[in-house]
Chains A and B, each alone.
Chain A
Amino acid sequence: MNYLRLVWAFFRIGVMSEAAYRINFFIQLFQSLLELAMSLAGLAVIFSYTNSLGGWSPDEVLALVGVYFLIGGIIGLVIQPGMEQLIEDVREGTLDFTLTKPEDAQLLVSLRQVDIWRLVDIVMGFGVLAAALLRLGAHVGTSQAAAFGIMLLAGAVIIYSFWLILATLSFWFVRVENILEIFQSMYEAGRWPISLYPGWLRFALTFIVPVAFAVTVPTEALTGRLSGTTLLGAVALSVVLLAVSRLIWLRGLRQYSGASA
């Protein structure tokens, strides 16, 4: 309960600090619409030459684009801002202020920074997803919807743990913000079904940078392509990664000496 209050408080602070810069909302809206237009135009060109991409129909790929926006929005909303702040705090030695607070420090660093305008991407992602499902005429049963929800959550947890591990590396190496950039360019590859890629790239996008679990797998759950094994595997991986990231975080904290403070 306490945690939920914290989440709400951080969110409110995010809204209040951004409310003064309402023009940022329109800039974000413009950028998100542009990104969406780019995706749709790209699909239009490609599907003017074929009606199936690696076994995926146009509307299924559209659903994938929706999930891509959704997860991208979640990353931009809370994961990326928090982790970037963490890296900077470790370098500047200002993490002290967070560590002295009477709440779990991992929770605080993960939630305190919210880029509220990225909600635009989340709303847009849901919109695209809804449109794709309507066009698919798919009867999304309760089991499929539940599988989708679970996979989306597992995907978000996997991505969060992955970012936390990378950001925690800053306790040992000072310059790691570049590593986060790698994630951004790899995430772009998640725009397309992972099954398209040759084995080595699919492996990299699944286990080295877990983009597949974030975008392709939830979409598969929704379009009824997902096997029970993948579902269990994704859940297991999310639990393991969360535990590992927690362990690395705790070790990293021991390393922290408040450099310049």
Chain B
Amino acid sequence: MSGLRDLYAQQFKTTFAAMLQYRASLVIWMIGHVLEPLVYLIVWSTVSTTGGGSVGDYTTRDFAAYFLVIMLVNHVTYTWIMYEYEYRVREGNLSFALLRPVHPIHADIADNVSSKLITLPFMLLIAFILALIFRPTFAIVPWAAAAFLPALLLAFLLRYLIEWTLALTAFWTTRVGAVNQTYFVAMLFLSGQMAPLSLFPMPIKIAATILPFRWMVSFPVELFLGQLTPVEAAEGILAQVLWVGIAFVLLRIVWRAGVRVYSAVGA
């Protein structure tokens, strides 16, 4: 166990140094992460002001609060592992990771977390500035705000496991673009990034709840904004834990099968 801790500590140091070198790409990711929720925030604010100040149970300022928190939660939970794997398998770089005595996912997680340690302060600053412009209203409920942290952590873990598994598609096909795009579209609608899930028609709401999407982004946001009852919150955490379990099993199966077909194409 202490070996794994050392590994993480060391990986943090290396990625930290590497990330500081690739500042430009970090900035570019951040622009994308700010712009998308910002556009939907503006679209829904416009709809709300035209409709007399509210849509469903959201006022214009509620939309501002919702999309600013979505922006932060999405940033904390996002991964870029699909692009990474396509490259690793195509170029045969994965061979080096396979030679190491620990599962390669650990290095990837450390990589992800350390890059976010660098970007998160900036995202918080941007969120603060946008809050001054769009003036969101928050109705923070203390217990819900406390439950937000574990929910966010579970959301991160779930999204990480699922996207890491999805990235392994690269073992079977070199054309992962279509697979990724399908996933992104599902994410946009079902994880609440395009609009609060409560504004969607019933079938989409049900799909978002049964599938893992709501639990990866929308749920922590709803919790933070104080929209859930204690029972709903407990059910949500349970659903997250359940999905983390399923995703973990799935990852193991797909990884074993994938490594067997891997032939280090470009190496």
Contact = CB atoms under 8 A, between A and B. Distances in A.
B36 A188 contact: yes
A46 B56 contact: no
B181 A31 contact: yes
B189 A49 contact: no
A48 B55 CA distance: 10
Interface string A177-199: 01001100110110110001110
Contacts of A31: 177-178, 181
A175 B25 CA distance: 10
A196 B28 contact: no
B42 to A, nearest CB: 6
Given A38-B185, A53-B46, A182-B28, A188 B175 contact: no
Given A178-B28, A196-B42, A198-B133, A45 B35 contact: no
Interface string B162-204: 0000000000000101100110010011000011000111000
Interface string A22-59: 00100100110011011001100110111011100000
Nearest to A47: B47
A181 B35 contact: no
B2 interface: no
Contacts of B36: 185, 188
A188 B47 contact: no
B121 interface: no
B50 interface: yes
A93 to B, nearest CB: 21
A109 B223 CA distance: 52
A185 B31 CA distance: 8
A191 B43 CA distance: 11
B43 A53 contact: yes
B3 interface: no
Contacts of A53: 43, 46-47, 50
A89 B177 CA distance: 25
B1 interface: no
Given A45-B194, A46-B43, A178-B25, A27 B175 contact: yes
Contacts of B43: 46, 53, 192, 196
Given A178-B25, A185-B31, A45 B199 contact: yes
Interface residues on A, range: 20 to 34
Contacts of A182: 28, 31
Given A31-B177, A31-B181, A49 B42 contact: no
B68 to A, nearest CB: 15
B173 to A, nearest CB: 10
B39 interface: yes
A34 B187 CA distance: 13
Contacts of A27: 175, 177-178
Given A38-B188, A175-B24, A189-B39, A49 B31 contact: no
Interface of B: 24-25, 28, 31-32, 35-36, 38-39, 42-44, 46-47, 50-51, 55-56, 133, 175, 177-178, 181-182, 185, 188-189, 194-195, 199-201
Rank and list the top 5 A-B pairs by shortest CB-CB distance, nearest first: A185-B32, A50-B47, A181-B28, A38-B185, A178-B24
Given A35-B185, A188-B35, 8 more contacts: A27-B178, A45-B195, A49-B47, A49-B51, A50-B55, A181-B32, A182-B31, A197-B42
